[in-house]
Amino acid sequence: MQISVAETVGVEQRGSYYDKAGALRDMVPNHIMQLISLTAMEPPVSFRADAVRDEQGKILHAIQPLSSEDVLSKTVRGQYGDGTVGGKRVPAYRSEDDVPPDTRTETFVAMKLQIDNWRWADVPFYLRTGKCLPAHNTHIVIQFRRAPFVLFRDTPVENLMPNQLILHIQPEEGISLQFAAKVPGPAMRLGAVDMNFEYSDYFGQQPSTGYERLLHDCMIGDATLFQRADMVEAGWCVVSPVLDVWKALPPRHFPNYAAGTWGPKEADDLMEHDGRHWRNFEK
């Protein structure tokens, strides 16, 4: 499972706030934990607010806490330097307004988490979020397990690509299914196939920021889309050990990625160590 929340903007006029928060506090305990719980939760017994949030809470409480050693090997932090985003030059984070020139605040986070329950045992959850990345999008990539019996066992196994279900959250909302299909002909060759669905193609464009729905739910008293106190606490239980280790061991190589790139090399290494790679969507 991969969850990416990518932003092309820097800190804009929020330098004084952002430097006290950082990417981990700003995004992971709230936005990303919501995405994890909504993706991994079991079906609720109804659409009542507490029925939905009960299942979300079970997922958040089942996330394995990271030990100090885990933080060193399963988390990555980064800070952007100067670069180019969308054809425009972008200053380094340390050159932004109201940001100290020697700040150690992170603008990028990548993590590997595990969920301790029957459905998700041994399934790694990789997450990342960052500023001044090449694209503005939020997506979830669900990679299916390889079949236990390979029917085409006379073909090279390494050529069999895993199927992936991609949930596009924003800015384009939709679902993609990627799978392998045999290329027509006598030779056994496989090609990647993408089946794409976008809400705008079928239901038209409905301009909104997303806050309209939340404001409406507030007015009618529907708490389904809002985090409950126990969910907030569970999210911070995951984040707090990381903050403690990062505070004790300040980064030595900031900035460590150029604006307009997909974060520091260590984030790629986190995936490649497990024989995987990030799915990057540029549009």
229-248 and 15-27 are packed helices; what angle lies between their axes, rounded to 10 degrees?
110
For 88, how many CA atoms within 13 A lie in the half-sphere containing its CB? Answer: 8
Residues 144, 50: Cα–Cα separation, whole Å: 30
Domain, as residue range, for 248? 2-148+226-272
For 99, how many CA atoms within 13 A lie in the half-sphere containing its CB? Answer: 26
Average pLDDT score over residue span 186-194: 80
What whole-number percentage of the chain has pLDDT above 90? 74
3-state SS class at 141: strand
Looking at the predicted structure, is the pLDDT value of residue 156 above 70? Answer: no
* Residue 1 near residue 123 (C-beta atoms within 8 A): yes
DSSP state of 227: -
Average pLDDT score over residue span 197-212: 80
Looking at the predicted structure, is the pLDDT value of residue 157 above 60? Answer: no
Specify if 157 maps to a domain: no
Strand segments, DSSP code E, in the chain are 2-6, 75-78, 80-81, 83-85, 88-90, 108-113, 125-130, 137-143, 164-170, 174-182, 190-198, 257-258
Looking at the predicted structure, is the pLDDT value of residue 160 above 90? Answer: no
Average pLDDT score over residue span 69-94: 94
Residue 103 is part of a domain; what is its CATH number? Answer: 3.30.360.10
Q: What is the pLDDT of residue 246?
A: 96
Specify if 73 maps to a domain: yes
Q: What is the pLDDT of residue 283?
A: 64
Q: How many domains does the chain have?
A: 1
Q: What six digits make up the tokens of 85?
A: 């985003």
Residues 25, 18: Cα–Cα separation, whole Å: 9
Distances in whole angstroms, Cα of residue 138 to Cα of each of 135, 155, 167, 217, 264: 9, 36, 9, 23, 19
Using one digit for the tens of pLDDT, what is the confidence trace for 212-264? 888 999 999 999 989 999 999 999 999 999 999 999 999 989 999 999 999 99
Specify if 208 maps to a domain: no
Using one digit for the tens of pLDDT, what is the confidence trace for 106-152? 999 999 999 999 999 999 999 999 999 999 999 999 999 877 776 66
* Residue 225 near residue 216 (C-beta atoms within 8 A): no
Specify if 13 maps to a domain: yes
Specify if 236 maps to a domain: yes
Q: Is 277 a catalytic residue?
A: no
H/E segment holding residue 39: helix 33-40
Specify if 200 maps to a domain: no
Specify if 186 maps to a domain: no
Q: What is the pLDDT of residue 158?
A: 54
Single out the catalytic residue among 31, 61, 139, 277. 31
* Residue 215 near residue 225 (C-beta atoms within 8 A): no
Q: What is the pLDDT of residue 161?
A: 76
Distances in whole angstroms, Cα of residue 283 to Cα of each of 131, 170, 177, 253, 280: 16, 11, 17, 30, 9
Specify if 189 maps to a domain: no
